[in-house]
Amino acid sequence: MGRQQGLTLIEILVALGIFVMLGSGLVMFLRDGISTWQIGESRREGIERAEAILEPMCADLRSLFTQPDPGPGGGYVDVLLLCDRDANRRSRLRMVSVLDEETRNPISRIAGSLTGGLADIDYRNDSMEARLGILRAPGGLCEVSYSMGPEQDSEVLWRGFKSPIGGEGSLFEDANLAPDVDGTPMRSRPVADGVLYLEWSFWGGDRRHWDRGEPQAPITFWDSTRGIVEPDRDSGISWDAGSRDDPRDDVFPDTVKVLLVLRPARSLALGRLTVDLDERSRTISVDSTAQYPMGADKYIRIDSEWIRVGRIDSDAFHDCDRGVRGSLATTHQRLRPVVHGSTYHKTVRIPGSRDPGGAR
């Protein structure tokens, strides 16, 4: 009889083992590749979201109008830049900007075409008021505001708008940014959601970039009149309530830094508190910290309180500074989610910065 060709059982087992090892390596390679792609996509989406928010805001800042005297016989214009905090201690920005879209926007283009206008361009029935011909002439300037929603835990950023500037509907009056009958801020439109934190900080005037060769940190508030928002005593910023109506000593910054924190572009599992948390505890126990960043800027938020984290392990945040970023340290119940976000920075140079001596 001839010899039969084939594989022995040992040879088959060896071949199967080789295939299993190769298959396992391929699966691990694909899994790591997919994970890297997901991280890259999440970062790309986050950057695109941040740019969509920051670029229009920076355009408004670059259009900041700082000259109170428009020319011979024009009288004074009440130009302002205010950065303060709302009732929920969140940063809020209000300013007078150049209305660069006056001739392009179909509403502002026809505003003031008829005499006797009574209404402002302010996101409230503008189209109907334009058809009726009752809009006042913009005058080339507008008031712009950026603020968070009225709810304490709101993550919606709103942009307020009004032209012409001043008058009873001015955005520099808090009542004109209060919630409307539908609960949304008056004279405002939503810009974005998922905004966990937003802050503006400034250099200029009494706060220089450098002092005796040492870099100086910016300040997180601004009052161009130096007579409305009273600064902290240790800020080194001059303030006089009587200077509110004196435009000669108004001060506008030369640089603005914007800090924006967004929820991650893709949904991630959030850790939850495993025990009740009091306002003094510096260790925060959670069920998992797997999804939290380990970089230099380690901030988390529980309810409306921001917390700076010193050290992270598998189930707790240690050496925590409570109540940062203008929030207050408070108690939190077990199972409350611990939120974190992606941080973005943008610095804007202000072309029309002005010290008391005049524009620069």
The verdict on 281 and 256 lying in the same domain is no
Which among 94, 359, 357, 172 is positioned nearest to 249, based on CA atoms?
Answer: 357
pLDDT value at residue 160: 96
pLDDT value at residue 212: 82
The verdict on 226 and 153 lying in the same domain is yes
Report the number of distinct structural domains present in the chain.
2
Q: Before 185, cis peptide (omega within 30)?
A: no
Is 24 within the bounds of a domain?
A: no
Instruction: Tell me the backbone φ, ψ of residue 56, rounded to 5 degrees.
Output: -65, -35
pLDDT value at residue 257: 96
Is 134 within the bounds of a domain?
A: no
The verdict on 220 and 284 lying in the same domain is no
Domain that holds residue 302: 265-340
| The residue to which tokens 């709101």 are assigned | 154
Instruction: Tell me the backbone φ, ψ of residue 175, rounded to 5 degrees.
Output: -60, -25
The verdict on 146 and 252 lying in the same domain is yes
The verdict on 201 and 308 lying in the same domain is no
Which residues on adjacent β-strands are paired with residue 277?
332
pLDDT value at residue 359: 45
136-148 per-residue burial string, b: 16 or more CB within 10 A, e: under 16: bbbbbbbbbbbbb
Is 32 within the bounds of a domain?
A: no
Is 133 within the bounds of a domain?
A: no
Is 166 within the bounds of a domain?
A: yes
Is 44 within the bounds of a domain?
A: no
Is 299 within the bounds of a domain?
A: yes
The verdict on 235 and 279 lying in the same domain is no
pLDDT value at residue 274: 94
The verdict on 174 and 89 lying in the same domain is yes
Report helix, strand or coil for 51: helix
The verdict on 168 and 305 lying in the same domain is no
From CA 147, how far away is CA 190, in angstroms rounded?
10
Each residue's pLDDT expressed in tens, for the chain with a length of 360 residues: 556 566 677 777 888 888 888 877 777 777 767 666 666 777 788 889 999 999 999 999 999 998 887 655 666 778 899 999 998 999 999 999 998 877 677 788 778 776 667 889 898 888 888 888 888 888 889 999 999 999 988 999 999 999 999 888 999 999 999 998 888 899 999 999 999 999 999 998 888 888 888 888 899 999 998 888 887 776 667 777 777 877 778 889 999 999 999 988 666 678 899 999 999 999 999 998 888 876 656 899 999 899 999 989 889 999 999 999 989 999 999 999 999 888 999 999 998 888 765 444
The verdict on 73 and 207 lying in the same domain is yes
The verdict on 300 and 184 lying in the same domain is no
pLDDT value at residue 360: 44
The verdict on 234 and 162 lying in the same domain is yes
Burial class (CB in 10 A: 0-12, 13-18, 19+), 88: middle
pLDDT value at residue 68: 80
Is 52 within the bounds of a domain?
A: no
The verdict on 354 and 214 lying in the same domain is yes
| The residue to which tokens 């008391």 are assigned | 356
Which among 129, 128, 134, 118 is positioned nearest to 169, based on CA atoms?
Answer: 118
Q: How many DSSP H helices and E strands does the chain contain?
A: 3, 19
